[in-house]
Amino acid sequence: MTRTDEELVALTVRGDVESFNQLVLRWERPIYALAYRVIGREEEARDVVQETFLRAFRGLANFRGQAKFSSWIYRIALNLCRDWIRRERRAPVSQAPEGVDLADLASERGPVESIEDLVARHDMSRTVARVMEELPEEQRTAIILKEYHGMTFQEIADLQGCPLSTVKTRLYQGLSVLRRHLSEQGHEASSVGPSR
């Protein structure tokens, strides 16, 4: 039987460390993906994941369930990412997504895809990473939370601590800049956007 996050939290607070490790297993990849896209560095993103779960572990006794566990750790991770960006006093560095498995990429499109197409897709990933780094942190984070984590406007507003209308503005402005930059780089977007 799969336990809910809240059940696992309750078990952890009663001393069952393995329950917390189940939470880690459930959420480490989303948190890593978030950290990687926000700060743009693989190793630092790993550090953020570790620190996020350590902080969650330490603070679990104070977690009263006023928010979802996932929202809580997303908030911790975003705060750590923000700290990193401010500490480094620089924009995130777009780094080649080295862990992307070409075999996985190939299996998504079937065996007929050529190596040129695979590499082109890999390059597109880099291009998107590069243009995303041009965005202000708030816009970039809003887009990441919306596009890759499927959050609602309200959930993003809660995480970013801003009004809902500000989230919409950030998304609109960010997407418009991305659209322009991609067009300038010869990547006329033509496909249909992903659904939530």
Partner 1 sequence: MTVDMRCQDKDRLIAYLYGEDGPGERAGVEVHLASCGECASEIDGLRATRGRLSEWRAPDVDLGFRIVREPAPAARGAGWRVPAWAALPAAAALVLAAGAAIANLEVRYDADGVTVRSGWGQAPPAAVPSPDAGAAAAQDAAWREALAETERRLRAEFAAASPAAGAPGAARAAAPAPRVDQSQIQALIEASERRQQRELALRIADVVRDFEAQRRADLVQIDENLGQIEGLTAARQREVMSYLVRVAEGR
29 binds partner 1 (CB under 8 A): yes
Cβ proximity of 63 and 118 under 8 Å: no
Binding residue (CB under 8 A) for partner 1 from 10, 11, 91, 118: 118
Distance CA 99, CA 49 (A): 16
Which is nearest to 139 in space by CA: 184, 91, 96, 189? 91
C-beta separation of 40 from 57 below 8 A: no
93 lines the binding site for partner 1 (CB under 8 A): no
Quick check: 42 binds partner 1 (CB under 8 A)?
A: yes
Q: Which of 4, 6, 7, 54 binds partner 1 (CB under 8 A)?
A: 54
Among 10, 50, 137, 162, binds partner 1 (CB under 8 A): 50
CB of 44 to partner 1, least distance (A): 11
Interface region with partner 1, contact rule CB under 8 A, candidates 1-9, 45-53, 71-79, 82-90:
45-53
Cβ contacts of residue 31 below 8 Å, gap of 6+? Answer: 48, 49, 52, 53, 73, 74, 77
- Are 134 and 94 a contacting pair, CB within 8 Å? no
Stretch that binds partner 1, among 2-10, 63-71, 73-81, 95-103 (CB under 8 A): 95-103
Taking CB under 8 A as the criterion, which residues in 146-185 touch partner 1? Answer: 146-148, 152-153, 165, 168-169, 171-172, 175-176, 178-179, 182
Asked whether the beta carbons of 177 and 134 are under 8 A apart, the reply is yes
